[in-house]
Amino acid sequence: GDSVTQMEGPVTLSEEAFLTINCTYTATGYPSLFWYVQYPGEGLQLLLKATKADDKGSNKGFEATYRKETTSFHLEKGSVQVSDSAVYFCALSLNAGKSTFGDGTTLTVKP
Amino acid sequence: EAGVVQSPRYKIIEKKQPVAFWCNPISGHNTLYWYLQNLGQGPELLIRYENEEAVDDSQLPKDRFSAERLKGVDSTLKIQPAELGDSAVYLCASSFSGSGQETQYFGPGTRLLVL
């Protein structure tokens, strides 16, 4: 079946450090790929998405590129802030709205 | 624009008791999702509605879980009777269509603790 594998956390970085959270997927067909962020006590919020191969999603300084050849969608940010501390979920969605989420990666950014 | 509303935010019950969660999606969103999120894991789909029709309930444990979306707007998820293993966060999400390309908007969730 479809699956999403994320880099295990937790990840702890100093402010202004470079961030990479790895995400790989297995899917039948051509999924759309998403990164969601969950702040403490809140629901998931869409961070960025890409709907086809080689698309790059970006938002708030975060980027991820849909790599079909490596079935990956790694999340990157050049300089993290304390406010980026949250749990990040990679997800895929195929036709008919069926979504599969990874287990999440907890990021803590220290001042 | 109001987001997805869920209530209650927290619920503590004893095992074997019934419990119900309510969700009001974003206005105009015809697709509604209920997810289960265990601690340290990602959301897992329980049921998906398009308007008032349940189009995917394959992961819903139908012996104790039920859901309804009678008028195609708000929805209720019920557990009867609850078990210790049902302790989790129950998330509701909505989207404009169920094509798979669209963004899902999530509510804050209901955190259930079964004692």
In chain B, pLDDT over 90 holds for what percent of residues? Answer: 78
* CA A92 distance to own-chain centroid: 10
What's the gap in Å between the CA of B10 and the closest CA on chain A? 11
Q: Which residue has the higher pLDDT, A96 or A60?
A: A60
DSSP reduced 3-state for A83: helix
- Residue A61 DSSP class: T
Task: Please name which of B5, B2, B6, B3 lies closest in space to residue B112, comparing C-alpha atoms.
Answer: B6
What are the tens digits of pLDDT across the range B32-75?
Answer: 999 999 988 999 999 999 999 998 898 999 999 999 998 889 99
- How many CB pairs (< 8 A) connect A and B? 68
What are the tens digits of pLDDT across the range A23-52?
Answer: 999 998 889 999 999 998 888 999 999 999
Output the pLDDT for position A29. Answer: 82
Tokens for B25? 């999606």
Residues of B with CB under 8 A from a CB of A: 4, 31, 33, 40-45, 48, 50, 55-56, 91, 93, 95, 97-109
Output the pLDDT for position A96. Answer: 62
